[in-house]
Amino acid sequence: MKKHLLPYFCITVLVASCSSSNAEQIPTVKDHFKDDFLIGAALPVRHVDGMDPKADSIVTLHFNSIVAENCMKNEKIQPEEGKFFWDDADKFVKYGEDRDMAIIGHALVWHSQLAPWFTKDAVGNEVSPDVLKQRMKDHIYAVVGRYKGKIKGWDVVNEAIVDDGSYRNSPFYRILGEDYIPLAFQYAHEADPDAELYINDFSMFLPEKREAYVKIVNDLKKRGIRIDGIGMQSHIGMDYPEFDEYEKSIVAFGNTGCDVMITELDMSALPTIEKGADIGAIFRMTPEERREALKKFNVYPDGLPEDVSKEWNDRMAQVFALYKKHSDKISRVTWWGTTDGMSWKNGFPIPGRTDYPLLFDREYNMKPFMQKIIENLE
């Protein structure tokens, strides 16, 4: 069930207008949705390091939840066996604590951005099930344990299922089979019994993925294993998903009793090269194919044409109307970044594009669809 959002309310922001002495109330995104869901942003290390002060002001004002864009991923936090790198993750957590935000940890078990040693032995062969279990346990205990009581919830398992609904052939699956999922949740719960635990994936609007995740979650629950949320990444585009399929997934996930979370929202304004967010897509293209794709698919390098911008804003307004409609099920909507200029979509699935997928543009202006919503002009 949805947790009460009250602790994360912001204090109403009052600023003195420059031109008059009257205090003026600025509507904020987090305030607008305070009875609906948390509003989150993924933060890169440079943000937490104070290298983007304007983005810092935006996040502090408009968001009440943050997630680590990269610094808590396996290869960053345990690059070598037993050698943890905590500096960035510590700073990230402190950033959220200082602002009284709901801090989300991402991600404990994921085939991508996984340190190469993690699933291999000294000669490069995959380790035995017992060794991998121990490594998963040590990793999860160390990372979750360090931030016990500070992190509201963890993406425990990320991207376990492929588009046809079958298990991804990740090293975790190859070595441990389906069991790696319940094991990961069990270890995370042992490490911090109060933390919420989530399963997360992209293209959750696909019926096959919907079905697979409903089964996984129901199985975990039947076995008495804690799971609190289903994360729908929601890296979407102008031509996908179809809203009725997206909605069916929100409803089906909500019906499991888990919170539904929109965990990595962005909507590319560019022609779709590849639906979904499979990071491996980058490596499937030859350099020549990438050059060709860049010519063909980097269509607005100098700014978004007005008609496309309008289309983007209209579609996003519909997306948020859907979230609002299901706010009894959705507990958090997190954008995968703050401003267009820093979005990972400029580099995915091919590097070098200029995309426009986030809530704030390159000049730090809020996109019109959201301005209208928070100023109640809809």
User: Does 70 participate in binding ligand XIL (rule CB under 6 A)?
Assistant: yes
374: helix, strand or coil: helix
CA distance 113 to 280: 11
Which residue lies nearer to ligand XIL by CB, 56 or 264?
A: 264
One-letter amino acid at 61 equals L
User: Does 69 participate in binding ligand XIL (rule CB under 6 A)?
Assistant: yes
Which residue lies nearer to ligand XIL by CB, 133 or 139?
A: 139
CA distance 90 to 49: 11
Handedness of CA 291, 335, 63, 227 (dihedral sign): negative
Which residue lies nearer to ligand XIL by CB, 124 or 280?
A: 280
CB of 118 to ligand XIL, least distance (A): 16
CB of 150 to ligand XIL, least distance (A): 20
CB of 31 to ligand XIL, least distance (A): 27
Tokens of 314: 């209209």
Which residue lies nearer to ligand XIL by CB, 200 or 256?
A: 200
292 is catalytic: no
- Using DSSP bridges, classify how beta strands 23-25 and 14-16 pair: parallel, antiparallel or unpaired: antiparallel
10 Å CB burial of residue 245 (0-12, 13-18, 19+) is middle
Which residue lies nearer to ligand XIL by CB, 68 or 258?
A: 68
Q: Among 118, 213, 253, 344, indicate the residue that binds ligand XIL (CB under 6 A).
A: 344
Choose, from 247, 264, 292, 311, the residue flagged as catalytic.
Answer: 264
Choose, from 159, 190, 196, 292, the residue flagged as catalytic.
Answer: 159
Give the rounded distance of the alpha carbon of 269 from its chain centre: 19
CB of 232 to ligand XIL, least distance (A): 11
One-letter amino acid at 362 equals R
User: Does 281 participate in binding ligand XIL (rule CB under 6 A)?
Assistant: no
The β-bridge partners of 230 are 199, 260
DSSP 206-262: SHHHHHHHHHHHHHHHHTT----EEEE--EE-SS---HHHHHHHHHHHHHTTSEEEE
Which residue lies nearer to ligand XIL by CB, 85 or 308?
A: 85
Tokens of 225: 């294993």
Q: 70, 337 in Cβ contact below 8 A?
A: no
Residue with the two structure tokens 């109403």: 12
In the 8-state DSSP scheme, what is residue 202?
S
Q: Among 64, 203, 233, 268, indicate the residue that binds ligand XIL (CB under 6 A).
A: 233
User: Does 232 participate in binding ligand XIL (rule CB under 6 A)?
Assistant: no
CB of 355 to ligand XIL, least distance (A): 12
Phi, psi (deg, nearest 5) at residue 43: -115, 130
In the 8-state DSSP scheme, what is residue 163?
T
According to CB under 6 A, which residues from 8 to 67 bind ligand XIL? none
Which residue lies nearer to ligand XIL by CB, 119 or 203?
A: 203
CB of 344 to ligand XIL, least distance (A): 3
Convert residues 153-192 into a mask of x (bound to ligand XIL by CB under 6 A) and - (unbound): -----x----------------------------------
81 is catalytic: no
Q: Among 277, 333, 342, 374, indicate the residue that binds ligand XIL (CB under 6 A).
A: 277
Residue number closest to ligand XIL, CB atom: 344
Q: 202, 235 in Cβ contact below 8 A?
A: yes
| Residue-level length of the chain | 378
CB of 163 to ligand XIL, least distance (A): 14
Which residues of this chain interact with ligand XIL, rule CB under 6 A? 69-70, 158, 233, 264, 277, 279, 344
Catalytic residues: 159, 264
